[in-house]
Chain A
Amino acid sequence: MDFSRTTIMRSLCSALIALGMAGFATIGTAEARVTIDISGGNVQPLPIAITDFQSQDGLGAQISSVVQADLKRSGLFAPIDKAAFIQTGLTPDTSPNFQDWTVINAQALVVGRVAREADGRLRVEFRLWDTFAGQQMDGQQFYADPNDWRRIAHIIADAIYKQITGENGYFDSRVVFVSESGDKANRVKRLAIMDQDGANLRYLTEGRDLVLTPRFSPNRQEITYMSFGNGEPRVYLLQLETGQREIVGNFPGMTFSPRFSPDGQKVVMSLSQDGNANIYAMDLRSRATQRLTSTAAIDTSPSYSPDGSRIVFESDRGGRQQLYTMNADGSNQQRISFGDGAYSTPVWSPRGDLIAFTKQSGGQFQIGVMRPDGSGERILTSGFHNEGPTWAPNGRVLMFFRDSQGGGGPQLFSIDLSGRNEQKVPTQGFASDPAWSPVLG
C-alpha cells in the first residue's frame, strides 16, 4: 500500500465552525488544565473516557478501540471501563454533561463520529473535552479512504497525546523488523513491516536470503538493510512502493550496519576488509563514497545526530567495544562511554538529547541511554539478552528485541525513557532488529 499518496485531510476547530458546529468549538483550548508532565519520573496515568464513535456500522467502535489501545499502551493514560459510563449516546454536536464524567473521575473525554461521504471516503470527527474545566481541548475532522481507518485512529490518538502531554505523539508510525522462523541453527529471516501496534503486517522479502538490520529512510519510502543474497553479504536499498532493490555501492568486501543520514541523501555503513571494519558514507545520488574511520579495529553501528552534523558509532579500538562520536566527515573522533562493560549499537535520539545503546555487563545484556557527551548514563532494562534499541519518533519510547534464556527466540519490546511501562510488541513468531519509522504525517 502506498501511504505517501494517502490523502488524509485535517482541519482544526475552524472547520468544525464552518460545518455549523460553532456552538461547541468556540471555547478556547489555551487554558485547558488537564495535563500530564512526562518529563518527571513517576507518572500517574490519566483517567480518560473514550466513548464509541457514532457510526452506522461497527467502525466507530473499532476506531475508538484503537485510540484507546494506543493511549493505554503508552502508560500515560488509564482508559475507563465503558460499563462505568453514565451519559451515553454522545455525539460531537452535543455538549457533554460534565458532572456525569467527573463523578467517574474521567479527567478527559473523547467523543467522535464516523460518516461515509458520497464519494466513498470516510469522514471522522472527534472532540477532546477537559471534564473538570468543562472545556474543549481539541476538535478535528479527517477525510480518508476507508482502508486507512486505523491510521485515522492513530492520528486521533496522537492528537490527544499531544494535547495532554505537550509532546508529539508516535502512534501514526510503523516498524520494520526481521521476522524469524525455523530452527535456531538455520533461521529463516524475512523483512517485515507493520504498524507500531502490530497491525497491518506485511512481509517484504521471501526468506530465501538471510536479511539483517533494516532501517527506514527519513521519508519512510525506502529501507536500507543487509542481505546475504547473491553470496556476498551486502547493504541493500529497497523501495517500499515498487519493491525494487539494489546493492548500495561497489565495495571490495562485506558491507553491513547501514543507516540513512537525516536528509536521506546518504547511507552510512561499515565495510569489512582483512578482518577490520571501517565506516563509510555513500551519497545516494552521486554514488561518491567517503571513508570516515581508518583503524585496525572494528568500527560499526554508525548513527547520525538528527541535525546530521555528528555520528555516534561503536569501536573496539581501545580493547572492548565502546561508543565514540565524530563529525560527519570523520574528524574529531572521541570516546564517550567509559563504564564497566561493552557498549554497542548506539542510536541517536530524534530529539538529539540522548543516545540509546546495548551494554554487556556482568553477563547481562542491557538497554540504556546517555547524553551525547557520555554523561548521565541510565540503564532502562537488563536481562539475559536485550539488544538493538530504536527510538519512537518522539524520542520518549524505545523498542528493542529480547531473547529470554530458554525462550527459543527473540521478541520485540518497548519501554519508556523512564525505564517504566515495558510492553511486549505483538508479532507473529519471533522478531528482531526493529527500526521505528518517523511519524507518517
Chain B
Amino acid sequence: MSLSRILNLRFVAIAVAGLMVAGCANKQNGLPDNAAGLGLGGAGGMGGAGGMGGAGGGAPGSSQDFTVNVGDRVFFETDSSSITADAQQTLQRQAQWLNQYPQYAITIEGHSDERGTREYNLALGARRAAATRDYLAQLGVNANRMRTISYGKERPVAVCDNISCWSQNRRAVTVLGGAGS
C-alpha cells in the first residue's frame, strides 16, 4: 500500500505534464480543444482558480482536482490489458468523481511502451483503453460519456531507453472533455 502511494505521488508530477502533452496532441488532431477544461471547473464554474489551487489540489470538480486528487491514469503490465489492483483503486476513484460531476465527457487514451512493433502496439493501446472504459462502465459511468483512442507507442510520457520509462508509458489516461460527445 505504501509503495503504491509513493508511486501514485510520483505519477502526479508527470500526470500534469502528460495532460499538457495530451492537450497538444488533441489540438494537432483537430479534436475539441480540451484546454478549456483545464482547471476551470467545468460547466459548474466551481472555483475557476485556473489550476492554481493552493497545494496543487485544484478546486473540487475541476480537471486539476481530477488529475491530482483522483488520478487520471492507470498502468499496465507488459503486453497486458488487465486492470491491476492499483488500477482498480484509481478507476474506482475516477468513477466516483465522474458520477459526481456528470458534465464531463471523457476520452480514454490507450498507450503502450516502445518495446513492441507499431501495428500491434496500436491494437494493444486500443485494448487497454477498452478495458479501462469497460471497468468504468461497470462502476456506473455512462458509456455515452466515454470514447476511446489509441496512440500505440507514439506518445510516450517518459522517454528514456529502459524499463523505468517503459512502465510509465504502458498506460490509459482519462482525459476530461467538455459536455457530451
- Mark A residues whose CB is within 8 Å of B: 183-187, 189, 208-210, 212-213, 226, 228-233, 254, 256-257, 270, 272, 274-277, 298, 300-301, 314, 316, 320-321, 344-345, 358, 360, 384-385, 387-388, 403, 405-406, 432-433
Is residue B41 within 8 Å, beta carbon to beta carbon, of the partner chain?
no
Q: Are B119 and A257 in contact (CB under 8 A)?
A: yes
Q: Once the chains bind, are B118 and A231 in contact (CB under 8 Å)?
A: no
| Given A213-B119, A301-B119, A254 and B126 contact (CB-CB distance below 8 Å) | yes
For chain B, residues 117 to 159, give those with C-beta under 8 angstroms from any C-beta of chain A: 117-120, 122-124, 126-131, 149-152, 154-157, 159
B17 to chain A, nearest CB (A): 9
What are 29 contact pairs spanning A and B, CB under 8 A?
A184-B159, A186-B24, A186-B155, A208-B28, A210-B29, A210-B151, A212-B118, A228-B29, A229-B29, A229-B30, A230-B30, A233-B150, A254-B122, A254-B150, A270-B119, A275-B127, A275-B131, A277-B126, A298-B123, A300-B123, A301-B117, A301-B120, A321-B117, A344-B117, A344-B120, A345-B117, A385-B114, A387-B118, A432-B118
Tell me the bound Cα distance from A37 to B149 in angstroms: 51
Is A185 within 8 A of B159, CB to CB?
Answer: yes
Query: Which of B30, B114, B115, B117 gathers most chain A CB within 10 Å?
Result: B117
Closest 3 CB pairs of A and B: A275-B130, A275-B127, A277-B123
- Chain A residues lying within 8 Å of B21, measured Cβ to Cβ, are 185-186
Please give 10 more A-B residue pairs, beta carbons under 8 A apart, in addition to A185-B156, A230-B30.
Answer: A185-B157, A212-B154, A213-B119, A226-B122, A231-B31, A275-B128, A276-B127, A298-B124, A316-B120, A384-B161
Quick one: closest B residue to A358, CB to CB? B117
Contact partners of A254 in chain B: CB under 8 A? 122, 126, 149-150
CA distance A256 to B152 in the complex (A): 11
Q: Which of B21, B114, B122, B131 has the most CB atoms of chain A within a 10 A radius of its CB? A: B122
The answer for the CA separation of A186 and B151 in the assembled complex, in Å, is 11
Contact (A406, B159) CB under 8 Å given A210-B29, A275-B131: no
CB neighbours of B29 from chain A (8 A): 209-210, 228-231
B120 and A185: CB pair below 8 A?
no
Contact between B118 and A433, CB atoms less than 8 A apart:
yes
Question: What residues on A are CB-neighbors of B116 within 8 Å?
Answer: 344, 360
Q: Which of B1-52 contact A (CB under 8 A)?
A: 21, 24-25, 28-31
Other-chain contact of B120, A186, A187, A228, A314 (Cβ < 8 Å) = A314
Query: B94 interface residue, CB < 8 Å from A?
Result: no
Using C-beta atoms within 8 Å of the partner chain, give the interface range for chain B: 35 or more
A275 and chain B: residue at smallest CB distance: B130
Partner of A210, one of B28, B117, B120, B129: B28
A316: chain B residues within 8 A (beta carbon): 120
User: Please, which residue of chain A has its CB at the minimum distance from the CB of B169?
Assistant: A185
Instruction: Kindly list chain A residues whose C-beta atoms are within 8 Å of the C-beta of B127.
Output: 275-276, 298
Is the beta-carbon distance between A272 and B123 smaller than 8 angstroms?
yes
- Would you call A275 and B81 a contact (CB within 8 A)? yes
Given contacts A209-B29, A233-B150, contact A387 B126 (CB under 8 A): no
CB neighbours (8 Å) of A406 from chain B are 161
Query: In the complex the two chains form, what is the Cα distance from A209 to B27 in whole Å?
Result: 10
Asked if A233 and B149 sit within 8 Å, CB to CB, the answer is yes
Number of A-B residue pairs having CB atoms within 8 Å of each other in the complex: 110
Considering the chains assembled together, what is the distance between the CA atoms of A226 and B25 in angstroms?
16
CA distance A344 to B13 in the complex (A): 35
Closest to A258 in B: B119
User: How long is the Cα–Cα vector from A436 to B135 in the complex, in angstroms?
Assistant: 43
Cα distance A384–B127 when bound, in Å?
Answer: 26
Q: Are B123 and A387 in contact (CB under 8 A)?
A: no
**How far apart sit A388 and B25, CA to CA, in the bound complex (Å)?**
25
Q: Which of B120, B154, B157 is the one whose CB lies under 8 Å from A321? A: B120
Kindly list chain A residues whose C-beta atoms are within 8 Å of the C-beta of B79: 320
- Count chain B CB atoms within 10 A of each CB in A189, A270, A272, A301 and give the residue with the most: A272
Contacts of A272 in B (CB 8 A): 122-123, 126, 150
- Chain A residue nearest to B25 (CB atoms) is A186
Q: Which of B79, B114, B131 has the most CB of A within 10 A?
A: B79
Q: How far is B154's CA from A387's CA once the two chains are assembled, in angstroms?
A: 15
Chain B residues contacting A277 (CB-CB under 8 Å) are: 123, 126
B115 to chain A, nearest CB (A): 8
Interchain CB contact under 8 A, B30 and A275: no
Task: Return chain B residues, CB-CB under 8 Å to A210.
Answer: 25, 28-29, 151, 154
- Give residues of chain B (64-90) contacting chain A, Cβ–Cβ below 8 Å: 79, 81
Residues of chain A within 8 A (CB-CB) of B161 are 384, 405-406
Q: Which single member of A187, A274, A388 contacts B117 (CB below 8 Å)?
A: A388
- Closest residue of chain B to A178 (Cβ to Cβ) is B118
- With A and B bound together, what is the CA distance between A270 and B152 in angstroms? 14
The answer to whether B130 and A183 have CB atoms under 8 Å apart is no
Which residues on A sit within 8 Å (CB–CB) of B126? 254, 272, 275, 277
Report yes or no: A256 in contact with B122, Cβ–Cβ below 8 A: yes
- The reply to whether B159 and A183 contact each other, CB–CB distance below 8 Å, is yes
- With both beta carbons as reference points, the residue of chain B lying nearest to A230 in the complex is identified as B30
> Please, which residues of chain A bring their CB within 8 A of the CB of B24?
186
Taking CB atoms, residues of chain A closer than 8 Å to B151 are 210, 228
The proximity string for B residues 87-122 relative to A, scoring 1 for CB distances below 8 Å and 0 otherwise, is 000000000000000000000000000111111101
Q: Which of B131, B157, B159 has the most CB of A within 10 A?
A: B159
Q: Is the CB of A388 within 8 A of B124?
A: no
> Chain A: which residue is nearest B149 at the CB level?
A233
Give the CA-CA distance A276 to B25 in the complex, in Å: 24
The minimal Cβ–Cβ distance linking B151 to chain A, given in whole angstroms, is 8
Across-interface contacts of A185 in B (CB, < 8 A): 21, 155-157, 159
Closest residue of chain B to A210 (Cβ to Cβ) is B154
